[in-house]
Amino acid sequence: MLKERLTLLIVSCDKFSDLWDGHIKLFNDNWQNRDFDTYIVTDKKTEKTFLDINIIAIEDKPEWTDRLKYALDYVKTDYVFITLDDYFLIEKVDNERMSSIMSLVTEDGIDYVRFFKRPTSATREPIERIPGLYRVETDSEYSVNLYPGIWKKDFLLFTLQQSLSAWKYEVALRRLAVNYGAKCIVDKGKGFVILDVVRKGKLLRTANRYFKKHPDIYLGNRELQGIGAALKLWIKTVVIRYMPSRLRKTARKVYVAVGGTSFADYQ
């Protein structure tokens, strides 16, 4: 049973509470018959309630890492599934496969499982026991990141010693994983398929098209991302995925020099 090994935390804040109803609806539709405890972690008290999902409101912890660390006091299992409020689950989760992954994780002492295939540059040899699983090289940018994933609680606590924003924390994870000697894997077998919904507070255009096809999912009035911003994001994504590392660092410096913001060099 997953309940004895896994707890799920949906990390959020009050400004993103308009996403909760749609997130939970898709989560319940696509991960049925789950038997583990699930929490929403937020920064303010709320009147919202959800069946079988508890809300942890942490009002005196301004930094993202401090709220997550506090929420771990509620976690009684050795492993934690972390996802964010704007990652909507859009395909069915195979409970049998997830149980097999958890068995491998506990037996092999795995510290982190990423359910998002990128960055592919960090992917190493396959794990023959379960098709679609691969070892991950931690000494690579964003090899450990905040896309949906399973974390060993001890490793997660090790990474939460500093008070950091989510952006700085995600960059620091590379160094922290190396220092910990974390054993990490990635599931490229579509174990937890998401729709990315928000960027810089605005509704992504891909998400907006999905919601038009499924009008019962998102009922908020969040501003839509502009075409120019969408194009800029696309270019940035292509650069990150395909540009060699040395050139990417140069491009990042130019981007910052002309007024852009980057946390990638944070240590």
* DSSP H or E run through 98: helix 95-108
Q: What is the pLDDT of residues 63-72, one digit of tens each?
A: 999 999 999 9
Residue 89, strand partner residues: 194
pLDDT-derived band at 26, boundaries 50, 70, 90: very high
Q: What is the pTM of this model?
A: 0.89
Q: Which residues contact 17 (CB under 8 A, 6 or more apart)?
A: 42, 46, 48
**Cis peptide, bond prior to residue 119, ω within 30 of zero:** yes
- The 10s digit of each residue's pLDDT in 68-119 is 999 999 999 999 999 999 999 999 999 999 999 999 999 999 999 999 999 9
pLDDT at 60: 92
**DSSP codes joined into one string, 157-211:** HHHTSS---HHHHHHHHHHHHHHHT--EEEE-S-SS-EEE-EETTEE-HHHHHHH
Q: Rounded to whole angstroms, how far apart are CA atoms 75 and 49?
A: 20
Give the Cα-Cα-Cα angle 201, 202, 208 (nearest 5 degrees).
140
Place of tokens 């506090």: 70
Q: Name the phi and psi angles at 88, rounded to 5.
A: -90, 125
**Cα–Cα distance for residue pair 10/250, rounded to 1 Å:** 35
The residues with which 9 forms a beta bridge, in sequence order, are 39, 82
Residue 17 phi, psi dihedral angles, 5° rounding: -70, -15
**Span 2-195 CATH architecture:** Alpha-Beta Complex (3.90)
φ, ψ for residue 197, nearest 5 deg: -105, -40
Mean pLDDT of the chain: 91
Residue 34: how many other CB atoms lie within 10 Å: 18
Q: From CA 131, how far away is CA 133, in angstroms rounded? A: 6
Q: How far apart are CA 226 and CA 203, in angstroms?
A: 9
Helix (H, G, I), strand (E, B) or coil at 76: coil
pLDDT digits (tens, 9 = 90+) for 104-158: 999 999 999 999 999 998 999 999 999 999 999 999 989 999 999 999 999 999 9
H or E stretch including 30?
helix 20-30
- Expressed in percent and rounded to 5, the helix, strand and coil fractions of the chain are 40, 20, 40
* pLDDT tens per residue across span 181-214: 999 999 999 899 999 999 999 999 999 999 999 9
Domain with CATH 3.90.550.10 in the chain: 2-195
Q: What are the CA-CA distances from residue 4 to residues 34, 41, 77, 224, 235 (Å)?
A: 12, 21, 6, 41, 43
The answer to whether the CB of 6 falls within 8 A of the CB of 150 is: yes
| CA-based nearest residue to 11, from 43, 45, 40 | 40
Rounded Cα gap, residues 146 and 166, in angstroms = 8
Q: Where residue 38 falls among pLDDT bands split at 50, 70, 90?
A: very high
3-class state of residue 133 by DSSP: strand
